[in-house]
Structure 1
Amino acid sequence: MPVPPPSCGCCHGTSCIPSGAGTALSLIWTFVLPVLQSGMPRQMQILFRPDVQEILNSFTALLGIRMGFFSAAGEELRVGENKPWCRYCTLLRTRLDQDGRCRETDRARQQEARDRAALLHYECHGGLVEAIKPLFLHDGHLLGYVMIGQLRMTDTPPAEYLFQWKQQHNNGELREAFLEAPYFEPSRLKHILGLFSSLVDYILQQHMIRVETAGNLEQIIAHMEQHCDIRLSLPEAARLVGKSPSRIAHLFREQYGAGFKDVQAEIILDKADWYMRHDPRMSIKEIAGAVGFRDPLYFSRFYRRKRGIAPSLARRREGDQQIV
């Protein structure tokens, strides 16, 4: 599936908000990309309201189908329930060396959905069903994609992969993993796709995803990202950009749909998630300290309250997804 967030220079032409060395670059709140206007590139921010994550979580939890938001370049920015790719896909990628084919398929299907400017569903080369819906700005520029997958409509994976698996491993693990993917009859798939499309339209109609030019808030966000272990107060943030605290508080509510402290909390948690993904040797206690928590138990409660999952379990899920 699409490449991970571009902390290693693989952003295919997009650039993230500067966040200092070793900082998570793709946050729930902001993602910067070049948008052409009057022939000149300008820096824009994709702004997510918390409702977007709630919709992704609810769809994923109800149906067992992974729902995620991807940038126009294919970087995964948000995913429901932090759900990793299914075990069957992981086996294809890692044990049958199909990772390149998976990525090529994703890029081709994303381009097809973009060209059609409409929802596209298809069966991938691995025999699972996925769907993509592109999102466009009012001026016609591509904002990104919302994707769902993987689900099945059959009980048997493609014969070519069963044959390869038998030749290389000679056991039933691949078929078992395939059967773990959620199964739906064609009549239900039609309704799932309808619900998916309606949710994406609702997100756009309710302005849950907005695009803004970078401004004073970008400077504050960058400061928060670069100094996650030190809490920036609202008065300090206001002094940083020469505004009043009340004005900054209003701008956060207006642009992000959330308060100053809520945005700061998401930045802290995204930094913690980055450590989980990129430094598996760090303990939860060390991660807590790195993001400004002296008490690791308080950090765990804070993380669980905001993410709905314990950091130890989140770390295991991150580890599973990194295999892909």
Structure 2
Amino acid sequence: MSRSVQFIFAEDANKIFDCFTRIFGIRIVFFSYDGRELNAGSNLPRCRYCNMLRESFGFEKKCHTLDRKQQILSGKRGKLVAYECHGNMTEAVLPVYVVKKLIGYIMIGQFRTSDSFIRPIEASHKSRKDLNCLRKAYFETPYYSQQMVENILKLFSLLVELIVSRHLINIKSQTSISKLIAYIDEHPEETLSLEEAANLIFTSISTVSHLFKKAAGMSFKKYQITKKFQKAEELLVSDSENSIASVSKQVGISDPFYFSRLYKKYRGYAPKQHKRNYRSD
């Protein structure tokens, strides 16, 4: 999946993100599969404590590496990963899949589970003034008991499950639909199901069904049948020895009688008539 992929965030996805942030005061963010931050609930920035560690105390690379490592781990496991960052704050991440394909991650953080400030070892060389500022920023972050954290993580998991099941975060598939159309054009001998088509371009069945008709001007099923008939007509007229049975097999329909019935239903005449019409012309 290239960096040019565009993501679609349904209005309900944004509402879920915004409500979660407003209720708990915690950031909830969607990251692309390659680790780019794309959408945050209520556009809430990183907390002051986190920014101080990253920008003033030189933790930027360490924090980014740790977050990325946990994202990849959650993708491999296919489940929630909760962890403590370098600043002793709790964060959690869940992978987001579309048709069994990983498209990104949703993360929450940062919040504390301790009511006492534990100075990061790497920050020990800083002045007392800097450390006091860091301590103050630490206590500005949301605090939750371990029991409350468990409930937050359960709710977070349920919300991500809802987002995934309802396809509230998806990828823009217009370009993918064009690729699907090209694939069908090149492989009239194949008969794809909607599920197979969706898997082929990493999107949902409903997205294929909706966008395909918009792009091709006809339904997914009708387009496949039309391409089979076009190929069959080419075969029928290119070689007088080609039988209906032979041609139907070459376009992926094993039963020649079914092929003939289907052809007549869509074309209004039998395939043999097409062959005769071509000869008379």
TM-score (normalised: structure 1): 0.52
Q: Which residue of 1 aligns with 2:38?
A: 77
- 8 Å contact kept, 2:98–2:170: no
Residue 88, structure 1, aligned to residue 49, structure 2: yes
In structure 2, do the counterparts of structure 1 residues 170 and 114 end up closer, same or farther at CA, with 3 Å as the change threshold? Answer: closer
Q: What SS class does the counterpart of residue 78 from structure 1 fall into? A: strand
What is the deviation of 1:214? Answer: 2.2
Structure 1 or 2, whichever has the larger Rg, is: 2
Gaps of 5+ in 1: 1-12, 17-31, 33-44, 219-250, 256-324
2:133 equivalent among 154, 161, 173: 173
- Cα distance in 1, alignment partners of residues 172 and 137 from structure 2: 43
What is the deviation of 1:70? Answer: 0.8
Q: What SS class does the counterpart of residue 172 from structure 1 fall into? A: helix
In structure 2, do the counterparts of structure 1 residues 213 and 159 end up closer, same or farther at CA, with 3 Å as the change threshold? Answer: closer
- 8 Å contact kept, 2:82–2:90: yes
Residue 49, structure 1, aligned to residue 10, structure 2: yes
What is the deviation of 1:14? Answer: 3.2
TM-score (normalised: structure 2): 0.59
Q: Which residue of 2 aligns with 1:146?
A: 106
- Cα distance in 1, alignment partners of residues 78 and 124 from structure 2: 37
In structure 2, do the counterparts of structure 1 residues 180 and 50 end up closer, same or farther at CA, with 3 Å as the change threshold? Answer: same
Q: Percent identity?
A: 35
Residue 197, structure 1, aligned to residue 185, structure 2: no
- Cα distance in 2, alignment partners of residues 88 and 104 from structure 1: 18
Higher percent of residues as helix:
2
In structure 2, do the counterparts of structure 1 residues 170 and 191 end up closer, same or farther at CA, with 3 Å as the change threshold? Answer: closer
Q: Which residue of 1 aligns with 2:58?
A: 97
User: How many equivalent pairs are there?
Assistant: 180
Q: Which residue of 2 aligns with 1:305?
A: none
- Cα distance in 1, alignment partners of residues 143 and 33 from structure 2: 29
Q: Which residue of 1 aligns with 2:144?
A: 184
- 8 Å contact kept, 2:98–2:167: no
What is the deviation of 1:171? Answer: 5.0
- Cα distance in 2, alignment partners of residues 170 and 85 from structure 1: 19
- 8 Å contact kept, 2:98–2:164: no
What is the deviation of 1:119? Answer: 0.5
1:27-64 deviation line (CA, Å, top 9, x unaligned): xxxxx1xxxxxxxxxxxx43221111111000000100
Residue 14, structure 1, aligned to residue 2, structure 2: yes
Q: What SS class does the counterpart of residue 164 from structure 1 fall into? A: coil
Structure with the bigger RCO (C-alpha within 8 Å, sep 6+) is: 1
Alignment of 1:1-324 (within 5 A): 14-16=2-4, 32=5, 45-138=6-99, 140-154=100-114, 155-161=116-122, 163-166=124-127, 169=129, 172-215=132-175
Q: Which residue of 2 aligns with 1:36?
A: none
What is the deviation of 1:93? Answer: 1.0
What is the deviation of 1:166? Answer: 3.3
Gaps of 5+ in 2: 179-206, 212-281
- 8 Å contact kept, 1:162–1:174: no
What is the deviation of 1:92? Answer: 0.7
Superposed CA RMSD in Å reads 2.3
Output the amino acid matched with 1:182: P
- 8 Å contact kept, 2:87–2:120: no
What is the deviation of 1:207? Answer: 2.1
Q: What SS class does the counterpart of residue 125 from structure 2 fall into? A: helix
What is the deviation of 1:76? Answer: 1.1
What is the deviation of 1:159? Answer: 4.3
- Cα distance in 2, alignment partners of residues 176 and 198 from structure 1: 33
Q: What SS class does the counterpart of residue 74 from structure 1 fall into? A: coil
Output the amino acid matched with 1:185: S
- 8 Å contact kept, 1:123–1:129: yes
- Cα distance in 2, alignment partners of residues 202 and 77 from structure 1: 19
Output the amino acid matched with 2:67: D
Output the amino acid matched with 1:112: L
In structure 2, do the counterparts of structure 1 residues 132 and 95 end up closer, same or farther at CA, with 3 Å as the change threshold? Answer: same
Q: Which residue of 2 aligns with 1:285?
A: none
In structure 2, do the counterparts of structure 1 residues 99 and 85 end up closer, same or farther at CA, with 3 Å as the change threshold? Answer: same
Q: Which residue of 2 aligns with 1:261?
A: none
